[in-house]
Structure 1
Amino acid sequence: MEHIKAICQSNAISDQNISPLSGGDINDTYKITTSQEAYVIKINQAKRFPKMFELEAKSLEMLAETNSFVIPEVIAHGDFEKYTYLILEFIDSDQPRNPAESFAVALAKLHQNKSDHFGLEFNNYIGRLAQYNLPQKATALEFHIDLRLEPQFKLAHQNGFEFEGLDNFYKNLETIIPEESASLIHGDLWAGNHLFTPTQACIFDPAIGFAPREMDLAMMKLFGGYSPEIFKIYNDIFPLESDWDSRTKLWQLYYILVHLNLFGSSYYGQAKQIISQYQ
């Protein structure tokens, strides 16, 4: 705890009470409480994930600029001795009167931030894996194959997992992926990466990029935790391309491959099943 106290003091946060927070498997995370404020601090070894917290801070600031969701304010980030850290505003959770509407409205507003290209001006992380956003791509098809699927398939191969028929799979995607412009997405929108304040929804731990907006919806459906009402309200506000629900598994493949490369063989069969569905 001494290094955490020293980091806090170097950022003018004094008289602190430090308590561990659960939920992450990559970083050590703590709540810092002072007489006036509360903060979250995330800590890791400086050499382990280069620029992870710098990129997370940049991503949170980009999300905040959309005025869509509540986003934790970035207080500070940097290195201290052998550690790297990120200090954020601590946000208390509560339940608004209409949580489904609050979330759907915010998500639609986020996705209305558009770009002419797919990707981002910097690479980042999804979990502890590198996520590639460069070079930016002109189409959703190129983006999904070159920057999302291919890096994960290559990593899976290195980890001993083989996939057959990918050329035919990629060919079929040409008629499946819609030609919709890129939206700014959260990129890792499972239920553990959001909470509610008394009036609004809040999101954090992003893996942002300008991407097909259906990717966020697919991730929301992958592990559950989101009301069906959210998807209905979202579609009423910001109508999706036709047959969007038929593409959910396709977008989920990226996240399944990420989990395969993070956690191992329990996701292998699911990945192969999705590929066969679109071959």
Structure 2
Amino acid sequence: MADSTSTHSDNTYDNTIPRFDSLLKAVNALSNRSISSLDDVDLQPVSGGDINEASLLTIGDSNQQVFLKQNTIEKAPVLEAEVEGLTAIRATGARTCQPLAFGIDNERGRSFLLLSVIHAFKGSNAHAQEGWHDLASQLATLHQAQPPQPPQPDNPDNFDNNQHSKWYAGWFDDNFIGSSPQRNSWTANWHEFFASQRLGAQSQMAFDNQRINRQTLQQIERIQHKLEQLLPNYPLTDEAGQPRPSLLHGDLWAGNAMLGQSADNSEDKALGYLIDPAVYVGHPETDLALTQLFGGFTSEFYDAYLEHGLVQDGFTERVDIYNLYHYLNHLNLFGSGYLNAVQRIAQRFGS
């Protein structure tokens, strides 16, 4: 068994933005004038998400806009995990929205997250293609950056040092994949991490909830046991030449990436943004595989990403193994519509 550390450890990404005990206080902290009531702000509902209530918030007569996500108090950890993920992505230099304020408003019975606004690109198709190139560059920037790591004995006070005796997959806390819990205990072996905390966690849940039968569960268990033969090691290496992982977006389907306007709202330039992450540290191919699950990414995106040298031979044969995790998650969340995909992959690789 590979070494594993505690799920929870010091996380520099969890206290990086202001926190408030009311939405009104948070809005006032961001406003250029005093707001006495939330009635003084314009809230326009935004469609597209099924986990949080999303709105575009315009403050007073200044037309100052921020993006607001709200949920129940019980679901505050979902929003807090998003803060950590966005902050970690921004730390690599990859482009995403900026968390502005987070809090729990007990009087309103709501948790909330305020974010900078990304205006969707509305220019020509030709300029949109350039935006897909830029999105690929943002993803490569994320993957090429040295990932955060837990404290290690050779340097216990610094988990971002250049040299490690071991490289770990995982994250400082468990977070969420959609609305499902996502386990992230730091693990020194990538294949073991993916086996136990991705395939194992979801397949056991599916079996316990009678979503899959024992035969399918056993096929997935066989896949778990031979991941070292099915999946490659990391494509990047550290200064000592040993393979090292990447920080991952974690939930990169088409709805969690977008082309936005440039700062001057020019329709001549589209910029790529990575949004709504479920971050952890692991193999970059997992992100690229998920982009293919529900479509929406262009050939220009893939061509541009391939130029960064992060995709190894045989990737197309591995896409289903990576995405089995997400098919299982969707089976657990939404039911039998995803069963055929789970059974097909389980039989192909686990028979």
TM normalised by structure 2 equals 0.74
Shift of 1:202: 1.0
**Alpha-carbon distance in structure 1 between the residues aligned to 2:207 and 2:76:** 24
Shift of 1:42: 1.0
AA at the equivalent of 1:24: G
Match of 1:141 among 178, 188, 191: 191
Matched, 1:152 2:202: yes
Matched, 1:121 2:172: yes
Matched, 1:260 2:311: no
Match of residue 245 from structure 2: 182
AA at the equivalent of 1:89: S
Match of residue 27 from structure 1: 52
Judging changes above 3 Å, is the alpha-carbon distance between structure 1 residues 142 and 195 closer, same or farther for their aligned structure 2 residues?
same
**Alpha-carbon distance in structure 2 between the residues aligned to 1:192 and 1:166:** 28
Match of 1:101 among 129, 133, 138: 133
Shift of 1:254: 0.6
Q: Deviations over 1:111-168 (max 9, x none)?
A: 012442111111111111111111x112221111111111111211222122232332
Match of residue 227 from structure 2: 173
- 1:52–1:125 CA contact under 8 A, matched in 2: yes
Match of residue 240 from structure 2: none
Task: Provide the secondary structure at the position in 1 that maps to 2:226.
Answer: helix
Shift of 1:257: 0.7
AA at the equivalent of 2:253: W
Shift of 1:171: 2.7
Task: Provide the secondary structure at the position in 2 that maps to 1:44.
Answer: strand
Unaligned runs of 5+ in 1: 1-5
- 1:140–1:177 CA contact under 8 A, matched in 2: no
- 1:1-279 pair list within 5 angstroms: 7-12=23-28, 13=31, 14=35, 15-34=40-59, 35-47=62-74, 49-69=75-95, 71-81=96-106, 82-94=109-121, 95=123, 96=127, 98-115=130-147, 116-134=167-185, 136-161=186-211, 162=213, 163=216, 164-180=218-234, 181-198=244-261, 199-279=270-350
AA at the equivalent of 1:110: L
- 2:103–2:113 CA contact under 8 A, matched in 1: yes
Judging changes above 3 Å, is the alpha-carbon distance between structure 1 residues 222 and 10 closer, same or farther for their aligned structure 2 residues?
closer
- 2:169–2:193 CA contact under 8 A, matched in 1: yes
- 1:156–1:261 CA contact under 8 A, matched in 2: yes
Task: Provide the secondary structure at the position in 2 that maps to 1:201.
Answer: strand
Task: Provide the secondary structure at the position in 1 that maps to 2:168.
Answer: coil
Task: Provide the secondary structure at the position in 2 that maps to 1:144.
Answer: helix
AA at the equivalent of 1:274: I
AA at the equivalent of 2:102: H
- 2:76–2:104 CA contact under 8 A, matched in 1: no
**Alpha-carbon distance in structure 2 between the residues aligned to 1:202 and 1:53:** 19
**Alpha-carbon distance in structure 2 between the residues aligned to 1:100 and 1:73:** 21
TM normalised by structure 1 equals 0.92
State how many pairs are aligned: 271
- 1:139–1:179 CA contact under 8 A, matched in 2: no
- 2:145–2:247 CA contact under 8 A, matched in 1: yes
AA at the equivalent of 1:222: L
**Alpha-carbon distance in structure 1 between the residues aligned to 2:335 and 2:221:** 24
Judging changes above 3 Å, is the alpha-carbon distance between structure 1 residues 267 and 92 closer, same or farther for their aligned structure 2 residues?
same
AA at the equivalent of 2:225: K
| Bigger CA radius of gyration | 2
**Alpha-carbon distance in structure 2 between the residues aligned to 1:36 and 1:8:** 17
**Alpha-carbon distance in structure 2 between the residues aligned to 1:248 and 1:257:** 14
**Alpha-carbon distance in structure 1 between the residues aligned to 2:309 and 2:73:** 41
- 2:132–2:301 CA contact under 8 A, matched in 1: yes
**Alpha-carbon distance in structure 1 between the residues aligned to 2:63 and 2:322:** 43
**Alpha-carbon distance in structure 2 between the residues aligned to 1:209 and 1:194:** 17
AA at the equivalent of 1:128: S
Q: Deviations over 1:15-61 (max 9, x none)?
A: 421110101111111110122421111111112x3522112111111
Unaligned runs of 5+ in 2: 1-21, 148-166, 235-243, 262-269
- 1:256–1:267 CA contact under 8 A, matched in 2: yes
